[in-house]
């Protein structure tokens, strides 16, 4: 067993402490609070190492696509999959006018972007899409982030981060 001789001071909210305590009570050996934090950090670091790639699915307004695309290219994103989609969220459709007549559409047109990125670009890409696509109005869209276990370039057989570039 590795000798533990380094102290790290951690300042945390009472809510954080409650979450840690609830997690450690679920463990069969009921670790101390500091041991619980150590285990959770190790688990998080292991997870990050095992999942160094992510898929970001962004649902945005169609008129924001070009601006988002340009920002992603500037960040070094190598590829994007784009699809025109329809759906609804809280707004449950929209009311439109055509030749003076009002009608309601159940689904709203959106653009779905799928962006595979390495861990190093993840936060920058999320921030770029969120800041550019936001109008402050209902219907701006959503971002979904998924960990990728494996990526493979079909043509060359390259895997994981090499397949993303």
Helix (H, G, I), strand (E, B) or coil at 117: strand
53-164 under CATH 3.40.50.300, yes or no: no
pTM greater than 0.75: no
What is the percent of the chain with per-residue pLDDT over 70, rounded to a whole number?
Answer: 94
Average pLDDT, whole number, for the chain? 87
Query: Which sign, positive or negative, has the C-alpha torsion 137, 138, 140, 143?
Result: positive
Question: Which sequence spans correspond to the domains of the chain?
Answer: 14-50, 53-164
Q: What angle do CA 18, 21, 25 make, to 5 degrees?
A: 140
72 vs 46, more confident: 72
7-57: pLDDT as tens digits: 888 888 999 999 999 999 998 898 888 888 888 998 888 877 777 889 999
Q: Residues 3-10: what's their mean pLDDT?
A: 80
């Amino acid at each position: 067993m590795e000798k533990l001789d380094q102290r790290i001071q951690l300042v945390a909210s009472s809510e954080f402490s409650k979450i840690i305590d609830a997690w450690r009570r679920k463990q069969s050996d009921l670790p101390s609070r500091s041991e619980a934090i150590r285990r959770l950090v190790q688990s998080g670091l292991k997870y990050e190492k095992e999942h160094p790639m992510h898929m970001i699915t962004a649902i945005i307004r169609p008129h924001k696509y070009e601006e988002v695309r340009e920002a992603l290219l500037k960040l070094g994103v190598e590829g994007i999959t784009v699809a025109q989609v329809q759906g609804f969220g809280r707004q449950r459709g929209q009311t439109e006018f055509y030749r003076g007549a009002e009608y309601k559409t159940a689904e709203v047109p959106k653009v779905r972007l799928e962006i595979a990125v390495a861990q190093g670009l993840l936060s920058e890409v999320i921030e770029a899409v969120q800041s550019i696509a936001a109008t402050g109005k209902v219907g701006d869209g959503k971002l979904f982030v998924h960990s990728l276990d494996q990526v493979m370039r079909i043509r060359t057989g390259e895997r994981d981060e090499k397949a993303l570039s």
